[in-house]
A = this chain, B = another copy of it.
Amino acid sequence: MADIFEVPQPENDLLEKADQVRLASIKISQTQNLNRIQALNCMADYLEENTKKILEANYEDYTRAEEKGISKALLSRLKLSKEKLYSGIEGVRKVGDLADPVNQVQIKRELSNGLILERKTVPIGVLGVIFESRPDAVMQISSLAIRSGNGVMLKGGSEANLTNTAIVKALKKGLDESGHDKNAICLLTSRKDSMSMLNLEKYINLIIPRGSNELVKFIKENTKIPVLGHADGICHLFIDNEANLEMALSVALDSKIQYPAACNAIETLLVHKDIAPVFLKKAIPFFNSNDVKLIGDKRSVQLGIKYEASLEDWNTEYLDLILSIKIVDDLDEAISHIQKFSSKHTDGIITENSSNAKKFMNIVDSAGVFHNCSTRFADGFRYGFGAEVGISTQTLPPRGPVGLEGLVTYKYFLKGHGNIVDDFSSGKATYTHKDL
C-alpha cells in the first residue's frame, strides 16, 4: 500500500473544514471543566433523543454492507445494537466523571523575586482519528476529545457512513446546545479526505489510528503528524525453570486465549530447557483442548509439538489461536530473543526467583514488563486510567496504554513585573528557584 499509494494534498474544502475545527478547538480549549462536562451530558442527551434515527441509519448501513458481501467480522463490528448504543451513550456521560486532564499545574516555581513560572497541562489542539467500522468508537473518541478540550476530525469506514453521520449530527447538536462551537467535531466521509488528513500537519496535532496493523503502518509512514498508536503487538511470556508450573500454565493460557485478537495477547512462549519437558507434557493437551495450534522450534518438536516453526513465526502477530513456542537455555537467551523480536508492547516472565524476575523486568525494554501475571492486563482500563486512547510501543512517552493524559500537552506560563535577563548577568538580580 505504502509503495503504490500517494497521499493526496488536501483540497480547499478540506482545508476550510480543518480551519473551522482549529478555530473551534481554540474556543473549547479555553472552557472550564464544568462547561465541558455539561457539553458531554448534552451530547449524550441528543444521542438519546436520536437513538431511533441512529439505529435506522445503522440498519441501512448493515443491509448495504451485507449486500456487498463484507466479511462477517466486519459486519459484526458494524452492527450497532440498541444495547451497544445505550452503553455507548452511557460511556459519553461517564467520560465526564474522569478527572479533568486540563489545567493541571505540574510545576509552580518562583524563578526570582516576582517572576513566577507555571507549567500547566493544556489540550493538544486538533486530533485526527482514523478508524475502521465500529460506529461506537465515534461516541467514545469524540467525548474523550471534548473532555480534554480538543477539537477532533474523524474518519470512519465508509461502510458505516450513515451511522457515523447520524451520531455526529447528534453530538454536534449537543455541543451547540451547550453553548460550544459545534465545529469542534468534524466527520469526514470520503476516503480521499481521510488520506489527505495525513497532510494536514498545520491543522492536526495528533493522529490516532484505530484499525489494522496495515492501516497503522501506512499512516505512520505517510505523515509528519505525530501518531499515537502501534502497529504490532508481538508479546512474549517466558517460563523460567523456577516457575510454579500450575501458575505458568494458567497465565500462559490466559495470555493466549482470553482474547486472541487483542494486541496484548502473547504470540510466543519461551520455555527454559530444564522445565520444558514437564511443562510441555502438561501444556500440550491443555492447549489442544482449547483449540490452540502450537508451532515450535526443533527442540520443542522433539518434546511433542506437532508443527515446526520457521524464522517468520517469531516475527508474526497471529491475532488468533496460534502460539509459537521456543525452548531457551536460560534467562539470557530468553531476553535476547525478546530483544530481537518483541514489538516492545508487553513481555512477561513466570518465575518464583525474584532476582531472575528483576533482571528480566529491568533489561527487557518494553512498555510493559510483567511478573507472574497475564499480559492481557496491559490495558488502560485495567491500569485504572478510566479510558484508553491508544497503546504506544515507542520508547519515548507516552508509552504503553495511554489514558486521557495522552490528549493533553503542557505549556510554560511565565509572569513577571518587567524582569529582564540582563539584570541577572549584571548581578542586580538573582535566581531563587523556589518551588511554590
Residues of A within 8 A of B (CB): 26, 29-30, 109, 111, 115, 117, 124-125, 205-206, 226, 244, 246-247, 250-251, 253-254, 258-259, 357, 361-363, 365-374, 376-378, 382-384, 394-397, 399-401, 409-422, 424-425, 431, 433
Contact = CB atoms under 8 A, between A and B. Distances in A.
A374 B112 CA distance: 13
7 closest cross-chain pairs (CB), A and B: A373-B416, A254-B420, A384-B433, A247-B418, A376-B421, A373-B419, A368-B412
A422 B29 contact: no
B395 A125 contact: yes
B419 A374 contact: yes
6 contacts: A206-B395, A251-B419, A254-B420, A254-B421, A383-B412, A399-B411
Most B C-beta atoms less than 10 A away, residue of A367, A370, A420: A420
A109 B413 CA distance: 31
B396 A409 contact: yes
Nearest to A361: B413
Nearest to A425: B258
A374 B411 contact: no
Contacts of A383: 109, 111, 117, 412
A421 B366 contact: no
A117 to B, nearest CB: 6
Nearest to A376: B421
A109 B381 CA distance: 13
A418 B244 contact: yes
Nearest to A344: B411
A226 B111 contact: no
Contacts of A394: 226
B29 A377 contact: no
A417 B378 CA distance: 16
B414 A373 contact: yes
A363 to B, nearest CB: 6
A30 B362 contact: yes
Nearest to A374: B420
Given A370-B416, A373-B419, A378-B412, A384 B254 contact: no
